[in-house]
Amino acid sequence: MRFPRASGILLHPTSLPGRFGIGDLGSAAYRFADFLASTGQRLWQMLPIGPTGYGNSPYQCLSVFAGNPLFISLERLAEDGFLEPSDLEDAPSFPDGSVDYDVVTRFKSPLLQKSFEAFTEKAGAAERDRFETFCQRTASWLDTYSLFMAFKESRGLSAWHTWEDDVRRREPEALRFWSKKLNHEIRCHKYQQYQFFKQWSELKQYCNRRGIRLIGDMPIFVAPDSAEVWSRPELFHLDAAGRPTVVAGVPPDYFSRTGQLWGNPLYRWDVMAVHGYEWWIDRFRARRALLDIIRVDHFRGFEKYWEVPGTEVTAMNGRWVPGPGVDLFRAVHRALGDMPIIAEDLGVITPEVDALRDELGFPGMRLLQIAFGRDPKADEYKPHNYPRNCVVYTGTHDNNTTVGWFRDTSREDTTQSREEKDREREAALKYLGRDGQEINWDFIRLALMSVADTAIIPLQDVLGLGSEARMNLPGTAQGNWRWRFTFDMLTDEIEERLKQLTIIYDRETA
């Protein structure tokens, strides 16, 4: 599927400003949408929006269908009468530039529960009807997720494979007992999802009215400790205790000499095929209801994926195993029609992966930060070799910022040597014909002027920030996903400069 020529910004909602330690779906999100519109941007890309588990990673969510309750705006709950203004007055003094997830969770979770109690007591008939309608419409995943979360909390947030045998195995009598015993807690989780989806829908409508489409990430794999693995174990390679027998990752690469061991359970594609890939159809249907464009993460895993025994401590000892290929996407197309998909095709990409992407007509990705090294794919990432049907990025959430990439050549964040990094940056300056003093704007201009239909710029690059603003360092479990900005960083000069470049390169009229 071809997209109209346009540009946009990569910013996860957690990075938005706000009083309560983490970005949310409140006023700052609308203000950021206004910034996008005023600069001619037509796309807002974000990371997965589900409830995070281990390491606060949006790529290790507790559910692939649910939304992250931490995104719920407390101020909007107060406006709706389900919190008192006084409830928000005693907020801790949160840092402006980063997210402290533990402190944020300890503050927001009790208030979300208090809001549920107020809703139960004070909501009018129309609001109650909307809530019940939501619960009925989403019951196929909401009932399971809410029981999963309620029981998980009753067991100190322990992983599901450590639960009592009858619950772990989802024996019907045990599920009936705990559904009744934890009914109030289950309803609270359903309420939080209701508020998330309500606030998300209103923000999406606002963005769409302003000509802005939302791009969201859909990871190929799911977290081992998730409602989906607990409820559908037959779809995954698990042992009798619910632990993965084989897990996902990638072999040694740009980021790690021992590969990246992600730890996600791998799918039993044969079982999924027998069921007509209904689980995937449901998943795509749910994402399409929330997003205008879906970026499918690790697209190469649908052609072949790296399988690592569950007992390994690195990703080195794995093997490539065939994925479902075109059959999965044909099944999705038959059920849902054309899907607006971007294929994340970075990393170890073979001609077979390229052929699958092209057969499906999905735009792939081009990354400027890896266009100037000696990687065999580097020439394909140089703008003069782009096809029109692609998406160019200065960098992604897994890369350093452009300023950090250019200046911090001694950082041990890739497998490159210092000499290789120096040569790479020299090659970039020769290609640009610039001195690197404004390397972030040089890359932004290069992306916007390219023939690529779509150009996406991380906000950190628009702001010219260094390595301190990096979102994620692959292969590390702690300290990621924390960066936030403040609106005073978006100066009039930056806004005007971005707007003018967008106009010059004909990306503001999409």
Residues annotated as catalytic (active site), given as ranges: 297, 344, 398
Residue 293, beta-bridge partner list: 215
Contact 366, 452 (CB under 8 A): yes
Q: What is the DSSP string of 106-131?
A: HHHHHHHHHHHHHHHHH--HHHHHHH
Residue from 305, 481, 461, 454 nearest 398 by CA: 481
SS3 480: coil
436's torsion region: left (phi>0), alpha (psi -120 to 50) or beta?
left
Structure tokens at 280: 């995937």
- DSSP H helices, 18-164, are 27-38, 74-79, 101-122, 125-137, 139-154
* Residue type at position 446: L
Residue 360, beta-bridge partner list: none
The residues near 451 (Cβ < 8 Å, ≥ 6 apart) are 383, 386, 387, 388
Q: Where are the beta strands (DSSP E) in 310-427?
A: 319-322, 341-343, 364-367, 390-393
Structure tokens at 298: 């690790």
